Amino acid sequence: MVELEEQRRPPSDRDGDDDIITEGASVVHGEPPQDETGPPKVDSEVEVLHEKVKKQIMKEGHGQKPSKYSTCFLHYRAWTESTQHKFEDTWHEQQPLELVLGKEKKEMTGLAIGISSMKSGERALLHVGWELGYGKEGSFSFPNVPPMADIVYEVELIGFDETKEGKACSDMTVEERIGAADRRKMDGNALFKEEKLEEAMQQYEMAIAYMGDDFMFQLFGKYRDMALSVKNPCHLNMAACLIKLKRYDEAIAHCGIVLVEDEHNVKALFRRGKARAELGQTDAAREDFLKARKYAPQDKAIAKELRLLAEHEKAVYQKQKELYKGLFGARPDPKPKPKNWLILIWQWLLSLFYRLFKGQRQKAD
């Protein structure tokens, strides 16, 4: 388990293929897919792919389109068009779907037609007629889809493997599956070094898809160690990209997946701490940094983050102190009001007339 042991070294001390360096990369602002109550509203041109399949592009992709028998990896949400009921969401499950074009399930025929027209990284809205979806009967198990329901898909094609490698994961040996994931990880690292964060994440997501939960549950011993030595760095590199993209909640989730397998992983604790600090979760961030320092006491990057947290809290305290100083400090002496000489003269005259009048009354008495 050489690579997993390597991960326990301090984050700033490693510079290998699995440890991408984030400090020098430029920041690219990205947005996660939107989760509306219904399908997103799209103004782009409608493209007719089939009598029962229409497409609107939400985000342009790059490169070539997949051919028949390509193994595609995608995220999608699905709604019934009439009721706007969402019945499936792979983004929420954090598990991309693997789909081999030409070998898809019958209910995904329309989805496959849409995918075959897309490029890697492309996101689109697909309108699929019930004939190419769940059909006349619908589905009363999972997912729950009514009979004769037209479907709206929000789809993102993460990437695909062509026919030379593109057989279904279930048909691969353990070594083939881990090898395919490792190649994707290496491609992602190369893209990251070119500051192509979105494209790098697509490669990492495809690698993670090869290492799905169903696959990991079947592994033990050296094969599980081999799989984790690919899977965990992909999650951590995804977290690094997401922090650069300011998508901190997603970064925290990827670090959490690694910490389930390896609670002492310094890099996972460090990056989760950075994401939490950016979200203002200072107590949780400090806890992560202190745990990381426990396993890497000499690491300068961890010490720096703890120092920045302390300085930030001190600055916040000083601001609060200044803000509430007037409320709880001594009451200031009231300033004397400027004198109005006309009023003083008038008051003196009234007083003089009063004394004269009083003196006349006393004489009369």
Query: What are 184-196's pLDDT values in tens digits?
Result: 899 999 999 999 9
Choose between 243 and 361: higher pLDDT. Answer: 243
Whether 193 and 161 map to the same domain: the answer is no
Whether 201 and 127 map to the same domain: the answer is no
Whether 82 and 149 map to the same domain: the answer is yes
Helix (H) or strand (E) holding 305: helix 300-328
Which two three-digit tokens encode residue 244? 């650069």
Whether 153 and 227 map to the same domain: the answer is no
pLDDT of residue 210: 85
Which residue type occupies 244?
K
Model confidence over 279-306: pLDDT tens digits?
999 999 999 999 999 999 999 999 999 9
Whether 116 and 197 map to the same domain: the answer is no
Owning domain of residue 54: 42-167
pLDDT of residue 34: 54
Q: What is the mean pLDDT of residues 192-214?
A: 88
Query: Is the pLDDT confidence value at 91 over 60?
Result: yes
Which two three-digit tokens encode residue 37? 């109550």
pLDDT of residue 1: 32
Q: What is the mean pLDDT of residues 247-268?
A: 94
Average pLDDT, the chain: 83
Q: Which of 289, 305, 322 is the last residue of a domain?
A: 322
CATH of the domain at 100: 3.10.50.40
Residue 10 resides in a domain: no
Query: Is the pLDDT confidence value at 26 over 80?
Result: no
Q: Which of 225, 229, 238, 282 has its CA nearest to residue 94?
A: 238
Query: Is the pLDDT confidence value at 30 over 80?
Result: no
Residue 199 resides in a domain: yes
How far is residue 265's CA from residue 13's CA, in Å, rounded to a whole number?
14
Phi, psi of 155 (to 5 degrees): -125, 140
Residue 334 resides in a domain: no
Model confidence over 300-352: pLDDT tens digits?
999 999 999 998 888 877 777 777 765 655 555 666 656 567 777 777 777 77
Q: Which of 302, 322, 342 is the last residue of a domain?
A: 322
Query: Is the pLDDT confidence value at 113 over 90?
Result: yes
pLDDT of residue 13: 40
Query: Is the pLDDT confidence value at 116 over 70?
Result: yes
pLDDT of residue 132: 96
CATH of the domain at 185: 1.25.40.10
Residue 128 resides in a domain: yes
Domain count, the chain: 2
Q: Which of 293, 311, 310 has its CA nearest to residue 302?
A: 293
Task: Mention every residue, 6+ apart, whose C-beta is less than 8 A from residue 94.
Answer: 253, 257
**Which of 4-18, 220-234, 244-258 is predicted with the least confidence, judged by mean pLDDT?**
4-18
Model confidence over 56-80: pLDDT tens digits?
999 998 888 998 888 888 999 999 9
Q: What is the mean pLDDT of residues 122-145?
A: 93
pLDDT-derived band at 48, boundaries 50, 70, 90? very high
**Residue 72 contacts residue 99 (beta carbons within 8 Å):** yes
Q: What is the mean pLDDT of residues 205-234?
A: 88
pLDDT of residue 18: 61
Whether 189 and 73 map to the same domain: the answer is no
Helix (H) or strand (E) holding 123: strand 123-128
pLDDT of residue 326: 58
pLDDT of residue 40: 92
Q: Is-cis flag, bond preceding 143, omega within 30?
A: yes
Q: Which of 117, 148, 167 is the last residue of a domain?
A: 167
Q: What percent of the chain has pLDDT over 90?
A: 50
Q: What is the mean pLDDT of residues 136-143?
A: 88
Whether 241 and 308 map to the same domain: the answer is yes
Whether 221 and 155 map to the same domain: the answer is no
